[in-house]
Amino acid sequence: MMPHGCGWRARLTDGPESGFRRWWWRAAGLAALLWFVLRVTPKPSRAAYPCQQCAAPLAGGFVVWFAGGLVPASLFHRKAWARLRVVLPLACAAVAAALVLGILTGMPQEQEPVEGPNRPMGVGKGVHPGRVVWVHNPAATPWKGPGDGHWWEETRTIQSEVDRMMSQAVLRLAGETRARKAWDALFRNFNQARNSRKAGYRKGEKIAIKVNFVGCIFGDRNVDTKTWELGLRRKDYMDTSPQMIRALLRQLVKEAGVRPEDISVGDPLSLFPKQYYDLLHGEFPGVRYVDYYGGNQANPRTKVEYSKVPLYWSVRPEGKDQDYVPAHYAEAAYLVNMASWKGHTMAGVTLCAKNHFGSLIRTPPQKGYFDMHANTAGRNPGMGKYRELVDLTGHAHLGGKTFLYFIDGLYTGVHGRDDSPRKWMAPPFDGRWAASLLASQDPVAIDSVGLDFLRAESDNSPRMPSVDDYLHEAALASNPPSGTFYDPDHAAPTARLASLGVHEHWNNARERLYSRNLGKGQGIELVKVGR
Full-model pTM? 0.81
- pLDDT tens digit string along 267-314? 999 999 999 999 999 999 999 999 999 988 888 999 999 999 999 999
CA–CA distance, 220 with 15 (Å, rounded to integer): 45
Residue 198: the pLDDT is: 84
pLDDT over 80 at 137, yes or no: yes
Give the residues across from 437 on adjacent strands: 135, 408
Residue 108: the pLDDT is: 36
Predicted confidence band of residue 114 (pLDDT cuts 50, 70, 90)? confident
pLDDT over 50 at 4, yes or no: no
Sequence ranges of the domains in the chain: 8-105, 121-530
Residue 477: the pLDDT is: 98
Residue 422: the pLDDT is: 94
| Mean pLDDT value across residues 449-473 | 94
User: What one-letter code names the amino acid at 2?
Assistant: M
pLDDT over 80 at 159, yes or no: yes
CA–CA distance, 305 with 12 (Å, rounded to integer): 63
Q: Are strands 288-291 and 263-266 parallel, antiparallel or unpaired?
A: parallel
In the chain, what are the helix, strand and coil shares in percent, each to the nearest 5? 40, 15, 45
CA–CA distance, 379 with 167 (Å, rounded to integer): 39
| Mean pLDDT value across residues 122-129 | 98
3-state secondary structure 290-355: EECCCECCCCECEECCEEEEEECCCCCCCCCCCEEEEHHHHHCCEEEEEEEEEEECCCEEECHHHH
Higher pLDDT, 366 or 395: 395
- pLDDT tens digit string along 226-255? 899 998 888 999 999 999 999 999 999 999
| Mean pLDDT value across residues 397-407 | 98
pLDDT over 70 at 403, yes or no: yes
Angle between helix 179-195 and helix 159-174 axes, rounded to 10 deg: 50
Predicted confidence band of residue 514 (pLDDT cuts 50, 70, 90)? very high
Dihedral (Cα; 142, 144, 148, 154), 10-degree rounding: 20
Predicted confidence band of residue 117 (pLDDT cuts 50, 70, 90)? very high
pLDDT over 80 at 156, yes or no: yes
Residue 149: the pLDDT is: 95
pLDDT over 60 at 87, yes or no: no
| Mean pLDDT value across residues 69-90 | 52
Average pLDDT, the chain: 86
Residue 344 C-alpha from the chain's centroid: 4
Predicted confidence band of residue 60 (pLDDT cuts 50, 70, 90)? low
Task: Give the rounded percent of residues in the chain with a pLDDT score beyond 70.
Answer: 79
Angle between helix 159-174 and helix 242-254 axes, rounded to 10 deg: 50
- pLDDT tens digit string along 253-265? 999 999 999 999 9
Higher pLDDT, 34 or 313: 313
pLDDT over 50 at 106, yes or no: no
Residue 262: the pLDDT is: 98
- pLDDT tens digit string along 167-184? 999 999 999 999 999 999
Higher pLDDT, 79 or 397: 397
- pLDDT tens digit string along 332-353? 999 999 999 999 998 999 999 9
